[in-house]
């Protein structure tokens, strides 16, 4: 994950704080797709639509104002969007959306906690462990048999060689 993040940063950071005339979103997105392919990440259709939108923005922006700094222009909008998605606003909105579910779950919570504390989380693994132990014993028996046969063959070979 860290390597992927570093690769994405190496593609994107050079275009920050540059005017639109110095940025080619086509090349940037091509490099991003190549990086995604290198890390085996499947490209979602939404990303292809984003590419199309960015290329349209690039073309229109170059026609309107080649000196436009797209990042500076988009920063307030992106900050508001991030705040709504994962900031406090997003948290409060999610809490409001989930509150009806909490209201039905809350009365059941003590019973659910008690059941969880009383249950043995490893009980479902006991049959698997027994099977694995039986397989290991059988494997050990075969290995011991093979080792005994090899030792007997070696002893016979040494005896025949000495006589």
3-state secondary structure of 1: coil
Q: What are the pLDDT digits (tens) for 110-140?
A: 999 998 888 887 888 889 999 999 999 999 9
Q: Which pLDDT score, from 0 to 100, does residue 136 have? A: 96
Q: What are the pLDDT digits (tens) for 137-151?
A: 999 999 999 999 999
Q: What are the pLDDT digits (tens) for 48-103?
A: 787 778 778 777 877 888 777 767 777 888 888 888 888 888 888 888 888 888 88
Helix axes 2-12, 25-38, angle to 10 degrees: 160
Cα(81)–Cα(69) distance, rounded to whole angstroms? Answer: 19
Q: Which pLDDT score, from 0 to 100, does residue 5 have? A: 84
Dihedral sign from CA coordinates of 102, 105, 110, 115 = negative
Q: Which pLDDT score, from 0 to 100, does residue 150 have? A: 94
Q: Which pLDDT score, from 0 to 100, does residue 137 have? A: 96
Q: Which pLDDT score, from 0 to 100, does residue 87 have? A: 81
* Average pLDDT rounded to a whole number, residues 5-24: 79
Most confident of 3-7, 81-85, 153-157: 153-157
Cα(24)–Cα(62) distance, rounded to whole angstroms? Answer: 10
Q: What are the pLDDT digits (tens) for 19-50?
A: 767 777 778 878 888 888 888 888 778 777 87
């Amino acid at each position: 994950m860290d390597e992927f993040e570093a690769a994405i940063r190496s593609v994107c950071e050079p275009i920050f704080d540059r005017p639109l005339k110095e940025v080619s979103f086509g090349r940037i997105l091509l490099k991003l797709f190549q990086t995604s392919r290198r890390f085996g990440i499947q490209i979602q259709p939404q990303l292809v639509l984003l590419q199309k939108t960015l290329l349209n923005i690039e073309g229109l922006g170059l026609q309107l104002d080649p000196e436009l700094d797209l990042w500076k222009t988009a920063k307030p909008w992106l900050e508001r969007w991030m705040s709504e998605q994962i900031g406090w606003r997003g948290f409060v909105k999610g809490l409001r959306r989930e509150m009806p579910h909490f209201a039905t779950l809350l009365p059941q919570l003590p019973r659910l906690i008690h059941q969880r504390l009383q249950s043995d989380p490893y009980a479902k693994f006991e049959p698997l462990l027994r099977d694995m132990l039986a397989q290991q014993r059988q494997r050990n028996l075969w290995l011991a048999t093979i080792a005994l046969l090899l030792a007997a063959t070696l002893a016979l070979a040494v005896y025949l060689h000495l006589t």
